[in-house]
Amino acid sequence: MADLVYVLNGPNLNLLGTREPDIYGADTLDDIAGMLEDRARELGLEVEVRQSNHEGHLVDWLHEAQAEGARAVLLNAAAFTHTSVALLDAIKAIRTPVIEVHLSNPHKREAFRHKSYVGMAAHGTIAGFGAQSYVLALEAAARLA
Protein backbone atom coordinates (compact mmCIF):
# COMPACT_ATOMS: atom_id res chain seq x y z
CA MET A 1 0.00 0.00 0.00
CA ALA A 2 1.72 3.14 -1.18
CA ASP A 3 -0.53 5.23 1.06
CA LEU A 4 0.44 3.44 4.27
CA VAL A 5 2.93 4.96 6.70
CA TYR A 6 4.36 2.83 9.47
CA VAL A 7 4.95 4.62 12.78
CA LEU A 8 7.38 2.57 14.83
CA ASN A 9 8.20 3.35 18.44
CA GLY A 10 10.97 1.90 20.55
CA PRO A 11 11.59 1.14 24.21
CA ASN A 12 9.75 2.87 27.03
CA LEU A 13 7.53 4.89 24.69
CA ASN A 14 4.61 2.82 25.96
CA LEU A 15 5.05 4.89 29.15
CA LEU A 16 4.51 8.26 27.47
CA GLY A 17 2.26 10.53 29.46
CA THR A 18 3.72 9.41 32.77
CA ARG A 19 7.42 8.99 31.93
CA GLU A 20 9.38 12.19 32.56
CA PRO A 21 6.63 14.51 31.27
CA ASP A 22 8.98 17.49 31.64
CA ILE A 23 11.04 15.97 28.81
CA TYR A 24 8.52 13.92 26.81
CA GLY A 25 5.27 15.80 27.42
CA ALA A 26 1.90 14.69 28.75
CA ASP A 27 0.61 13.01 25.57
CA THR A 28 0.34 9.23 25.64
CA LEU A 29 1.26 7.07 22.68
CA ASP A 30 -2.49 6.57 22.12
CA ASP A 31 -2.93 10.37 22.04
CA ILE A 32 -0.19 10.63 19.43
CA ALA A 33 -1.70 7.78 17.41
CA GLY A 34 -5.04 9.60 17.41
CA MET A 35 -3.44 12.83 16.20
CA LEU A 36 -1.65 10.91 13.46
CA GLU A 37 -4.78 9.07 12.35
CA ASP A 38 -6.68 12.37 12.07
CA ARG A 39 -3.90 14.07 10.10
CA ALA A 40 -3.35 10.99 7.93
CA ARG A 41 -7.01 11.03 6.87
CA GLU A 42 -6.64 14.69 5.85
CA LEU A 43 -3.56 13.77 3.81
CA GLY A 44 -5.15 10.71 2.20
CA LEU A 45 -2.87 8.34 4.10
CA GLU A 46 -3.22 5.52 6.58
CA VAL A 47 -0.95 4.95 9.57
CA GLU A 48 0.06 1.75 11.29
CA VAL A 49 1.29 2.68 14.79
CA ARG A 50 3.33 0.12 16.72
CA GLN A 51 5.55 0.07 19.80
CA SER A 52 8.02 -2.47 21.11
CA ASN A 53 10.64 -2.62 23.81
CA HIS A 54 12.50 -5.19 21.69
CA GLU A 55 15.02 -4.20 19.02
CA GLY A 56 14.32 -7.22 16.81
CA HIS A 57 10.65 -6.29 16.48
CA LEU A 58 11.65 -2.90 15.10
CA VAL A 59 14.00 -4.55 12.60
CA ASP A 60 11.27 -6.97 11.52
CA TRP A 61 8.77 -4.14 11.12
CA LEU A 62 11.19 -2.13 8.97
CA HIS A 63 11.51 -5.15 6.67
CA GLU A 64 7.72 -5.57 6.70
CA ALA A 65 7.20 -1.92 5.73
CA GLN A 66 9.19 -2.48 2.57
CA ALA A 67 7.48 -5.82 1.82
CA GLU A 68 4.08 -4.13 2.21
CA GLY A 69 5.08 -1.24 -0.06
CA ALA A 70 4.68 1.43 2.61
CA ARG A 71 5.21 5.03 1.53
CA ALA A 72 7.47 5.70 4.53
CA VAL A 73 8.35 4.78 8.09
CA LEU A 74 8.35 7.24 10.96
CA LEU A 75 10.79 5.79 13.48
CA ASN A 76 11.24 6.91 17.06
CA ALA A 77 13.78 4.31 18.09
CA ALA A 78 14.12 5.94 21.54
CA ALA A 79 17.26 4.66 23.31
CA PHE A 80 18.06 2.33 20.39
CA THR A 81 18.72 5.48 18.35
CA HIS A 82 22.06 5.80 20.09
CA THR A 83 23.07 2.14 20.26
CA SER A 84 21.60 0.05 17.47
CA VAL A 85 23.78 -0.91 14.54
CA ALA A 86 21.04 -3.46 13.76
CA LEU A 87 18.54 -0.65 13.11
CA LEU A 88 21.13 1.26 11.05
CA ASP A 89 21.67 -1.83 8.91
CA ALA A 90 17.94 -2.50 8.57
CA ILE A 91 17.27 1.06 7.40
CA LYS A 92 20.11 0.82 4.89
CA ALA A 93 18.78 -2.54 3.67
CA ILE A 94 15.33 -1.24 2.66
CA ARG A 95 14.25 1.21 -0.01
CA THR A 96 11.37 2.61 2.05
CA PRO A 97 12.27 6.10 3.31
CA VAL A 98 12.67 6.32 7.08
CA ILE A 99 12.09 9.58 8.92
CA GLU A 100 13.69 9.71 12.36
CA VAL A 101 11.39 11.24 15.00
CA HIS A 102 12.09 12.45 18.53
CA LEU A 103 9.84 14.21 21.01
CA SER A 104 12.76 16.01 22.64
CA ASN A 105 15.84 17.49 21.01
CA PRO A 106 18.63 14.95 21.64
CA HIS A 107 21.28 17.62 21.05
CA LYS A 108 20.04 19.57 24.07
CA ARG A 109 20.44 16.51 26.28
CA GLU A 110 23.25 14.25 27.50
CA ALA A 111 26.26 13.89 25.21
CA PHE A 112 25.63 10.18 24.57
CA ARG A 113 22.31 11.13 22.93
CA HIS A 114 24.05 13.30 20.33
CA LYS A 115 25.02 10.28 18.20
CA SER A 116 22.23 8.72 16.15
CA TYR A 117 22.75 5.46 14.32
CA VAL A 118 19.23 5.84 12.94
CA GLY A 119 20.04 9.30 11.65
CA MET A 120 23.05 7.96 9.74
CA ALA A 121 20.65 6.21 7.35
CA ALA A 122 17.36 8.09 7.76
CA HIS A 123 15.94 10.24 4.99
CA GLY A 124 15.60 13.06 7.54
CA THR A 125 15.10 13.84 11.22
CA ILE A 126 12.43 15.81 13.06
CA ALA A 127 13.03 16.42 16.75
CA GLY A 128 12.23 18.70 19.61
CA PHE A 129 8.59 19.56 18.94
CA GLY A 130 6.95 17.13 21.35
CA ALA A 131 4.03 15.17 19.90
CA GLN A 132 3.99 17.59 16.95
CA SER A 133 7.28 16.03 15.81
CA TYR A 134 5.25 13.02 14.65
CA VAL A 135 2.71 15.17 12.79
CA LEU A 136 5.49 17.12 11.08
CA ALA A 137 7.16 13.86 10.09
CA LEU A 138 3.87 12.53 8.68
CA GLU A 139 3.47 15.70 6.62
CA ALA A 140 7.00 15.22 5.31
CA ALA A 141 6.21 11.59 4.46
CA ALA A 142 3.13 12.72 2.50
CA ARG A 143 5.39 14.84 0.29
CA LEU A 144 7.79 12.03 -0.58
CA ALA A 145 7.56 10.82 -4.16
Residues 98-125: tens digit of each pLDDT:
999 999 877 656 676 668 899 999 999 9
Share the mean pLDDT of the chain. 92
Q: Tell me the DSSP string of 95-139.
A: -S-EEEEESS-GGGS-GGGG--TTTTT-SEEEESSTTHHHHHHHH
pLDDT of amino acid 136: 98
User: What pLDDT does residue 24 have?
Assistant: 66
Query: Is it the case that residue 127 has pLDDT exceeding 90?
Result: yes
| 102: annotated active-site residue | yes
Q: Which residue among the candidates 6, 102, 117, 134 is catalytic per the annotation?
A: 102
Q: What whole-number percentage of the chain has pLDDT above 70?
A: 90
The confidence score (pLDDT) of residue 21 equals 64
C-alpha distances in Å from residue 77, one per residue of 45, 50, 128, 143: 22, 11, 15, 22
Q: Output the pLDDT for position 56.
A: 98
